[in-house]
Amino acid sequence: MTATRAVAAPLARPAGSAPLLEVRDASKLFPVRGTRRWTHAVDGVSLSVMPGECVGLVGESGCGKSTLVRLIARLLDLTGGRIVFEGRDIGAVPARRFARAPERARIQMVFQDPADSLNPHFTAFDTIADPLRRLGVMQNREGLRDRVREVADLVGLSRELLGRFPHQLSGGQQQRVAIARAIAVRPRLLLLDEPTSALDVSVQAVILHLLADLQHKLGMAYLFVSHDLNLVRLLSHRVLVMYCGKIVEAGPGHAVFADPAHPYTRALLSAVPVVDPEARRPRIRLAGEPPSPVDPLTTVCRFYGRCPDGFDRCAREMPVLRPVGRDHEVACHLFESPPLQSSDSA
């Protein structure tokens, strides 16, 4: 079950401004131990995030979502491609040095499990104050105390809890501390990696409302990663669908959810629980398993073999993202014009 209580509509997507973040043909390969082979976790991904926008990134476990977010957060080094933030190629800065880069304070991250991401030896106060001290945002003791209290109020964390350690807090309180830590330095981009998946359903709804409220108040841009399409639907202006290291569909949230183009997106949406029987989609059950990410063939669609609409060309050529509507793109040969199915099957 998913938290689906009404959430305030996202801020209108800014028009005419330059992207806050641009990822261009990013890739991340990990060596397979004891071999000369490589795991392609992220493979030629491009995306953008506008100031104040929320972009949802969805896909099943293991598709590369978290690796992509860690590349953007500069916790991992790129194998190839660029990451441009506020006009600067931060992808060229080694991850080990990015902690001292001026952009560090402007890109922050909220991790999946607050119990694992919080230092067990830090009180809630020290956790929130830590980035303020480390990034040189604030050193004055009185100013630091006031900022921590201000941020605690913003996330709805009682000041009485600031002296407690993580094990003395509930899961929802821990995640409020984690969010407060991330926004304390007033970032422009907040990376949210499955921020509610470790929480109870009722707490998920509360945290989702909190994130929507914070975006309205602070104007931050979000990259919201989740396997839960209902959560992404509630919070995001645009949606990116990822499969086996690649973006297979990208578009406005209303377009992707109302008229999904890629067969994989349609399969994902068909599995989403819907209360209204008339709104339910016929269930699409995919055969087989995702292909191995180890040295995948570059001439075959990653979805070939599972796709209910696949045809000969899918086994010979990797599709690229192409327009199928206003700001809506899909990587699928079915949407080429003119369609090539007939010539392949002749």
CA 67 to each of CA 47, 57, 180, 208: distance values in angstroms, whole numbers, following the listed order = 14, 12, 23, 23
pLDDT value for 148:
96
pLDDT value for 156:
95
Q: Is pLDDT of 338 > 80?
A: no
Number of domains in the chain: 1
CA 59 to each of CA 18, 29, 226, 242, 332: distance values in angstroms, whole numbers, following the listed order = 27, 19, 7, 5, 16
Task: Note the pLDDT tens digit of each residue in 252-284.
Answer: 999 999 999 999 999 999 888 776 666 677 888
Does residue 288 form part of some domain?
yes
DSSP letters along 146-210, please? HHHHHHHHHTT--GGGTT--GGGS-HHHHHHHHHHHHHTT--SEEEEESTTTTS-HHHHHHHHHH
Structure tokens at 229: 């399409």
What global pTM score does this model have? 0.90
The Cα–Cα gap between 171 and 191 comes to: 19
The Cα–Cα gap between 67 and 191 comes to: 12
Contacts 24+ apart (CB under 8 A), 301-309: 301/332, 301/333, 302/243, 302/244, 302/245, 302/246, 302/248, 303/243, 303/244, 303/248, 303/262, 303/263, 303/264, 307/263, 307/264, 308/263, 308/267, 308/284, 309/263, 309/334
Instruction: Give the whole-number percent of the chain exceeding pLDDT 90.
Output: 71
Tokens 């008339």 sit on residue = 278
Structure tokens at 215: 């975006």
Q: Which amino acid is at 63?
A: C
The Cα–Cα gap between 17 and 98 comes to: 26
**Cβ-proximal residues to 143 (8 Å cutoff; 6+ apart), any chain:** none
Does residue 236 form part of some domain?
no
Does residue 59 form part of some domain?
no
The Cα–Cα gap between 35 and 40 comes to: 14
Per-residue pLDDT band at 344 (split at 50, 70, 90): very low
Does residue 23 form part of some domain?
no
Per-residue pLDDT band at 160 (split at 50, 70, 90): very high
Does residue 307 form part of some domain?
yes
Does residue 98 form part of some domain?
no
Instruction: Give residue 293's domain range.
Output: 265-345
Structure tokens at 39: 């795991």
Does residue 271 form part of some domain?
yes
Does residue 35 form part of some domain?
no
